[in-house]
Amino acid sequence: MNNYLNKTYIILDRELRGYFRTPLASIFLLVFLALSSGMTFFLGRFFERDQADLTAFFSWHPWLFLVLMPAIGMRLWAEERRSGTIELLITLPVTNTQLVVGKFLASWFFTLIALILTMPIWITVNFLGDPDNNVILISYIGSWFMAGAFLALTSCLSVLTKNQVIAFIISSISGFILIMAGFNLVLSAVRSWSPNWITETISSMSFLSHFTRIQMGVFDLSTLVFFISMMILCLWINVQLVQLKKAD
Amino acid sequence: MPDKLINAKNLKKSFDQFIAVDKINLQVDRGEVVGFLGPNGAGKSTTMKMLTGFLEPDDGEIFINGIDLKSNPLKAKEYIGYLPEGAPSYSDMIVSDFLSFIGKMRGLSDKSLSNRLEEMADQINLKEMWDRPVETLSKGFKRRVGIAQALIHDPDILILDEPTDGLDPNQKHEMRNLIKKISKNKAIVISTHILEEVEAVCSRAIIIADGKLLANDTPQNLENKFLNKHTLSIKISDKINNVVSREIKSSLKYEEVKIQKYDASTYIILISDNKKVPNINTVLKQINKHKLNVIEANFQKVNLEKIFRSITTGKN
Give the DSSP per-residue string, chain A. Answer: -HHHHHHHHHHHHHHHHHHHHSTHHHHHHHHHHHHHHHIIIIIS-HHHHT-SSSHHHHTTHHHHHHHHHHHHHTHHHHHHHHHSHHHHHHTSS--HHHHHHHHHHHHHHHHHHHHHTTHHHHHHHHHHS---HHHHHHHHHHHHHHHHHHHHHHHHHHTT-S-HHHHHHHHHHHHHHHHHTT-HHHHHHHHTTS-HHHHHHHHHT-HHHHHHHHHTT---HHHHHHHHHHHHHHHHHHHHHHHHHTT-
pLDDT at A189: 79
Per the prediction, chain A carries an average pLDDT of: 88
- Its pTM surpasses 0.95: no
Q: Which residues of A touch B85 (CB under 8 A)?
A: 84
Same fold, B6-225 and B229-301: no
- Residue from the list B54, B106, B149 with its beta carbon closest to the beta carbon of A247: B54
ipTM of the modeled complex: 0.89
In tens, the pLDDT along A43-89 reads 767 777 667 677 878 888 898 999 999 999 999 999 999 999 999 99
Residue of chain B with shortest Cα separation from A245: B55
Task: Please list, in sequence order, all residues whose beta carbon lies within 8 angstroms of the beta carbon of residue A166, skipping any fewer than 6 positions away.
Answer: A78
Establish if B74 touches chain A: CB-CB under 8 angstroms: yes
Largest CA distance in chain A: 58
Inspect the interface and report whether the beta carbons of A92 and B106 lie closer than 8 Å: yes
At the top level of CATH, which class does the domain B229-301 belong to? Answer: alpha beta
Establish if B104 touches chain A: CB-CB under 8 angstroms: yes
| Among A77, A87, A245, the residue to mutate for chain B (most B Cβ within 10 A) | A87
Band of residue B7 on the pLDDT scale cut at 50, 70, 90: very high
Give B89 to chain A, closest Cα distance, Å.
6
Domain ranges of chain B: 6-225, 229-301
B180 vs B195: CA distance, rounded Å:
16
Inspect the interface and report whether the beta carbons of A92 and B105 lie closer than 8 Å: yes
> Is CATH 3.30.450.20 the classification given to domain B6-225?
no
> Which A positions 25-44 lie with beta carbon below 8 A of chain B?
none
pLDDT at A161: 94
- Tell me what the mean pLDDT of segment B52-68 comes to: 94
